[in-house]
Amino acid sequence: MQKRNKISVIGAGNVGATVAQRILEMRLGDVALVDVVEGVPQGKGLDLLQSAPVMGISGDIIGTNTYEETAGSDLIIITAGMARKPGMSRDDLLSANVKIVSEVTKASAPLSPDAKIIVVTNPMDVMAYVAWKVSGFSKERVIGMGGVLDAARFRTFISIELGISADSVQAFVLGGHGDQMLPLPRYTTVAGIPITELMDKDSIDSVVERTRNGGAEIVSMLKTGSAFYAPAAAAAAMAQAILLDQKRILPCSVLLEGEYKVSGAFTGVPVILGMDGVEEILQVTLTAEERAAFEKSVEAVRKGQEATGF
């Protein structure tokens, strides 16, 4: 019998629990759901397990407050950390979440030395850097989630603007997962047609700005939390690409070492995701204006990395 994949989800809040649910429903493997709050991962894990007969799912899930049950994981997804509140930027979370992400990485990585790590916690690019530093894993095996989410938001807002299905939209986003991310209309298409042929400049600028503020818009509405359905879907899509060796091209935050003329910083670029993690970084030509915006976004990430002390 073929061994099932094992996925550890660290953090059983809204994002983590929803990631676990999507992983089970996508039949990607068994899940260990970890959280420091006693009873929360156990309760949510049992609840998800009881949904399996209804959904026709055979995967297993265990909730735990310790890391022993994560041993031998094929994939570790880190969602643990403080969530944004109204008026907060992703960078406002930096100091608190550096401590959390470094601790959970230190506890989980040695137990699963062959795993890949997907980082969801904000500020995501900086937290991916922390997980890479602490784990000692190769750069191909530590990947930040934000680009998939940013592209999904861009696709959604374009579909709303044009009154079409988001399935027809292929969006391209570069840079850090923050207010200085770089949606690229020139590389964004609807059924192969560049959106620059379908939308005027004001409409495109409006959609780009809404994409950049996509997370903040949801935070302002919820008031006591932040987005979790779309971030969980993005992380699950990345997990699927890795565990099923799909070789999908997805925008992810990875360590650049010369690509795009950037070295030593995690930032969002298109990559091929497969069983080895990041199998290739794809490079596209940027205009002078796009390159300036990209470098500004990278510089913001670099400052965050420097502030971690790692």
Catalytic residues: 177
Residue 203 to residue 304: CA distance in whole angstroms: 32
Q: What are the backbone dihedrals phi and psi of residue 114, each rounded to the nearest 5 degrees, phi first?
A: -105, 5
One-character DSSP codes across 146-202:
HHHHHHHHHHHHHHHHHTS-GGGEE--EEB-SSTT-EE-GGG-EETTEEGGGTS-HH
One-letter amino acid of 153: R
CA 220, CA 229: separation in Å to the nearest integer?
A: 16
| Listed residue (30, 82, 38) closest to 64, CA to CA | 38
Residues 115-145, buried b or exposed e (16+ Cβ, 10 A)? bbbbbbbbbbbbbbbbbbbbbebebbbbbbb
List the structure tokens of 35: 């959280």
DSSP-derived secondary structure for 95-143: HHHHHHHHHHHHHHGGG-TT-EEEE-SSSHHHHHHHHHHHH---GGGEE
